[in-house]
Amino acid sequence: MRDLHAELARVGIRGRLARRIEVELADHLACDPAAQLGQPRVIAERFAEELRLPTTRRTTFHAFAALALTALSLGVALRSTQITGGWPAVSATRGWLVSLGGLAIVFGVQVALVAGSLALWRVLRGTATDGDLRLVQRRVGLALAGGGVVLVGQAVQAAALQPLQPRWWILVALSALVVPALTLGGAAYELRGAVSITAAVPPAHRVFPRPLVLALGAGAVAVVCVGSAFAEHSWNEGLTRGAIEAVAFAGCFAALGRYVGIRR
């Protein structure tokens, strides 16, 4: 059993799961002291091999659910701001903090959405190798980081606006962060477990065809451009935001495309 404990730890199985396996196998030996369980190394490797795919799949779904809750919390924050009559007039310092929080939210939402969708896409299409699993895990990690950035952005904005908004607004804005923060944290913990039982191989890149990337970029820019133009009743504003989106999309593709395995 001591050997099994060490072998389980070697393949990345620790904590509650390791204890459960040890208890189950100890019970088996108690039922049949002459049982041939096999070599601890083989058993531990078999556990890791059997569990890495379902654990990664489950983590991806949980991460996506956590990101959906993050989006919901963002919606709650925006709606409650509308109810108070919109953004209050702020001083230069507070304005700077609110803008910084806003930038973090815009950046985090897009990174989380793209990385999370790519992870989900890969999982739903099927993952055959450890390299595929590594790629999914990397995308999930980035998506969760994006979600975390969104929550930090919301918290920064809430803190900056705290003296200028009604008390209920602060309570709503901050309490809306609790559930997504817990679920993102839970998914990150799960991801850590999935990563630890997956062989340390380089992620398998699935390079996206250039026309597809261009089409996705153009689509995102068009949505932001038209959406902003309608929301703000101004084509100038729409075009400005569309241009920012184009720069952000190109920048993220250049900076993170290789990391998430969609470009060489």
Contact footprint for other proteins (CB under 8 A): 20-21, 23-28, 30-32, 35-38, 42-43, 46-47, 49-51, 54-55, 58
Minimum gap (Å) between residue 134 Cβ and other proteins: 18
Q: Is 217 exposed, middle or buried (0-12, 13-18, 19+ CB in 10 A)?
A: middle
Q: Which of 208, 206, 240 lies closest to 135 in space, CA to CA?
A: 206
Between 34 and 89, name the residue whose CB sits nearer to other proteins: 34
Between 28 and 79, name the residue whose CB sits nearer to other proteins: 28
Q: Is 200 helix (H, G, I), strand (E, B) or coil?
A: coil
Between 45 and 237, name the residue whose CB sits nearer to other proteins: 45
Between 128 and 255, name the residue whose CB sits nearer to other proteins: 128
Minimum gap (Å) between residue 162 Cβ and other proteins: 44
Instruction: Provide, for the chain, the percentages of residues in helix, strand and coil under a 3-state DSSP scheme, each rounded to the nearest 5.
Output: 80, 0, 20
Token pair belonging to 214? 């261009």
Between 46 and 79, name the residue whose CB sits nearer to other proteins: 46
Between 43 and 100, name the residue whose CB sits nearer to other proteins: 43
Minimum gap (Å) between residue 83 Cβ and other proteins: 41
Minimum gap (Å) between residue 140 Cβ and other proteins: 16
Token pair belonging to 124? 């739903």
Q: Which of 196, 195, 113, 191 lies closest to 149 in space, CA to CA?
A: 113
Separation between Cα atoms, residue 164 and residue 86, nearest integer Å: 12
Minimum gap (Å) between residue 190 Cβ and other proteins: 11
Separation between Cα atoms, residue 8 and residue 238, nearest integer Å: 55
Minimum gap (Å) between residue 130 Cβ and other proteins: 16
C-beta separation of 132 from 124 below 8 A:
no
